[in-house]
Amino acid sequence: MSYEERFRYATSVYQMRMHTGQFLSGSSQSINLFDVFQQIHAASRNSMFHGTSTFPPQHKALLWIYESALRMVCQLSAQFTVAQCCAVTLPYWEWELGYIEVSGMPGGGYWGRIEQTDVFQFPDIMGDTTPQVNTNYIDTGIFAYSTPFDPPGKDLKRAFSVKSLSNNTGPAQIRNFIVNNPTYSRFLPYIHGALHGQIHTFIGFSMGATSTAALDPLFYMHHCNVDRFYHIWADCHGYEGVSPNQMTTTHYDAQNPIGLVGTTVKNPTTGVAWDVSIDNPMNFYLISTTATFLPISDWPTPRQMWSLSNGWGGLNYRYGADKMAVSLTARCPNKVWTWVNQ
């Protein structure tokens, strides 16, 4: 993305926190739009966001709604033209490009430069990677702790803790896992734990906890990258040609919890295990037990979130030119990229 595109994106995120209204079904509470999404992710009644097979499709729906909200507040702020606002997109953070191969290191690599990837190319937008000494406040950029974006008690901090990362999430390891695990049940623990979880702990502070992670704008860029990995995996194996009504357990396998170990995710109110079957609606409550951002009748199902086009709510997007997809072409069962590398 160019400097101007990144600036419009970050400015729109900033305006989301400045934009206050009554957005909630079942509540007259006034809340800023950025915090709406943080509350959706933090709410215990949305536990299916993590630990179950609904992790990729439920976050995918959250990202699409978030991007739509960005475009709306961009137009309402009147800082850019309508055409520019309609072109605002949620960028993905290719943190895997910060992986440096170092001979002699266990696993063949070392996370040495992840904090120098292109997200931080312009510190005056996303902030630098040298937080204020002893406090870890982000003190530069549009989201710096000294700006109205970070009110008292919600100061943005980042740790960039390299020791939180392992060598099983470098580019070569990601490619191997994508190719060698064609079933959803095999790929899911890796995308949830390694590709998703390690970056949360790497950034730390707000990003290090489910209840606060979505306070950091990096959260959405990271999850957009996780969503990209999900679709590279599907595209690599030719699943983009599978329509929602043709899905089998190869493409979505209902699991609660993920894998052979873990704790069953339960409804905190009833104590009953979440229903994560393919046609069961996925929750979009807020922290309040009554408020929802979407009417319950509009909650998406995993099946509805499968396709990248003609899906739930008009979802229609592609991932652009992709270095990882190109390097996978010779190894993937399917040689034609449809959902990525466009």
CATH of the domain at 219: 1.10.1280.10
State mean pLDDT over 288-295.
Answer: 81
Q: Is residue 247 part of a domain?
A: yes
Domain that holds residue 214: 3-92+156-328
CA-based torsion, 22, 26, 28, 31: positive or negative: negative
pTM to 2 decimal places: 0.94
Check whether 108 has a pLDDT greater than 60.
no
**Mean pLDDT computed over 213-236:** 95
Task: Classify residue 113: in a domain, yes or no.
Answer: no
How many domains are there within the chain? 1
Rounded Cα–Cα distance for residues 124 and 142 (Å): 7
Q: What are 115-131's pLDDT values in tens digits?
A: 778 888 898 999 888 88
| Banded pLDDT at 215 (limits 50, 70, 90) | very high
Q: Residue 112 falls within a domain, yes or no?
A: no
Task: Identify whether 24 is part of a domain.
Answer: yes
Whether the per-residue pLDDT at 310 is higher than 70: the answer is no
Residue 234 lies in a domain: yes
Please check whether residue 72 lies inside any domain of the structure.
yes
**Residues of the chain with pLDDT > 90: what percent?**
56
Q: For residue 134, what pLDDT is reported?
A: 78
Buried-exposed string 107-143: b where 16+ CB fall within 10 A, e elsewhere: eebbbeebbebebbebeebbbbbebeeeebbbbbbbb
Task: Kindly report which listed range (46-55, 92-101, 198-207, 300-309) carries the lowest average pLDDT score.
Answer: 92-101
Q: How far apart are CA 277 and CA 220, in angstroms?
A: 26
pLDDT recorded at residue 135: 85
Residue 333: closest CA among 182, 174, 175, 187: 182
Tokens of 14: 């900033």
Mean pLDDT of 182-211: 93
Q: Phi, psi at residue 292, to the nearest 5°?
A: -135, 150
Whether residue 170 is contained in a domain is answered as yes
Is residue 193 one of the residues assigned to a domain?
Answer: yes
Tell me: cis bond preceding 281? Omega within 30 of 0 counts: no
Cβ neighbours of 280 (radius 10 Å): 16
Compute the distance between CA of residue 196 and CA of residue 222 in angstroms, rounded to an integer: 8
